[in-house]
Structure 1
Amino acid sequence: MFATFGYVTFFALIGVWARYGQNLLVQTVFGRGFPWAILSINVMGCFLMGFLFFETLDRISVSPELRTGILTGGLGTYTTFSTFSVETLVLFENGEPAKGLIYVFSTMVLCLGATFAGAWISRSI
């Protein structure tokens, strides 16, 4: 258990540095007129999560603690959208497309709604 926390902490540091660095780089290159930085982070994180989730499950032999550190710590701090994407993929692959679609639409609606509500409350105080 302590090894898992250690790996999560270590890879979280790498993930957050990668996110911040990519954010700065993309904003420097493309500006701030459109959220290209976060879009690129989410897309790259989703790709890495999809790739590494199955590589470390099927092909590369790593300890469960290290796998958790990489996927949860590293990619979880790099982007949480990657976790959402894998959970959705698993629902579809398990033959539950209705649950997958409900999860996608409810996540989008609820998360955007929560963002707007938080912003509204913050601005109202």
Structure 2
Amino acid sequence: MTALISIGIGATLGAWLRWAFGITLNHIFPTIPLGTLTANIVGGFLIGLFMAITRNHAFIPESARLAITTGFLGGLTTFSTFSAETVTLITHQEYAWTAAIMIAHVGGSILATLFGIYVFKLLTV
């Protein structure tokens, strides 16, 4: 039951942050929803940072791990919204934007994850 509550609290907070990114950023550039992209890049960075932290500090309780990873970061990042936005670009025959957004989300998130690990290493040297 503790795991369920931890995940639920984390997911709620992550979803609220994703919503805030959307409300704040999506109007800036209507063709590419920057809120979703920001959520996925920030989520990638944070999971990389958390991976590095937990690799070196096993004392983090399981309920906290679940709240942060499955809950908060799962609620923050969004593959389904990214997929829907990509399909919308395809249906509007925006193929260059489609390719750009796919590269930005997937490549950006992976690079952000690696950067999160790197930042942890810099901070712990």
Normalising by the smaller structure, the TM-score range is: 0.5 to 0.7
Give runs of ≥4 in structure 1 deviating > 2 Å.
Answer: none
Question: How many angstroms does 1:53 deviate by?
Answer: 2.2
Contact 2:21 2:39 in 1 (8 A): yes
In 2, Cα distance between equivalents of 1:80 and 1:35: 12
Quote the offset at 1:60 in angstroms. 6.7
Q: Does 2:43 align with 1:42? A: no
Q: How well do the aligned residues superpose, as a CA RMSD in angstroms? A: 2.4
SS at match of 2:36: helix
Task: Find the counterpart in structure 1 of residue 12 from structure 2.
Answer: 13
2:67 to 69, 76, 81: 69
- For 2:103, the equivalent position in structure 1 comes to none
Structure 1 counterpart of 2:53, one-letter code = E
Q: Aligned partner of 2:2: which letter?
A: A
Query: In the alignment, is residue 56 of structure 1 matched against residue 85 of structure 2?
Result: no
Which amino acid in 2 is paired with 1:64?
E
Question: 1:52 corresponds to which letter in structure 2?
Answer: F
Render the CA deviation track for 1:4-31: whole Å, top value 9, x for unaligned: 1110011111000000001111124x23
Name the aligned partner's letter for residue 13 of structure 1.
Answer: T
Tell me the alpha carbon deviations over residues 65-90 of structure 1, each in whole angstroms, 9 at most, x when there is no partner: 21011100100011145xxxxxxxxx
CA distance in structure 1 between the partners assigned to 2:4 and 2:55 by the alignment: 20
Number of residue pairs the alignment of both structures matches? 84
Residue in 2 that maps onto 1:24: 23
TM-score normalized with structure 2 length? 0.58
Higher helix share: 1
Structure with bigger gyration radius = 1
Residue 38 of structure 2 aligns to a residue whose secondary structure is helix
Q: Structure 1: which 5+ residue stretches go unaligned?
A: 82-110, 121-125
Asked whether the equivalents of residues 53 and 71 of structure 1 are also in contact (C-alpha less than 8 Å), the reply is: no
User: Distance in 1 between the 2:20 and 2:58 partners?
Assistant: 28
Aligned partners of 1:9 and 1:58: how far apart in 2?
26
TM score, norm. by length of structure 1: 0.58
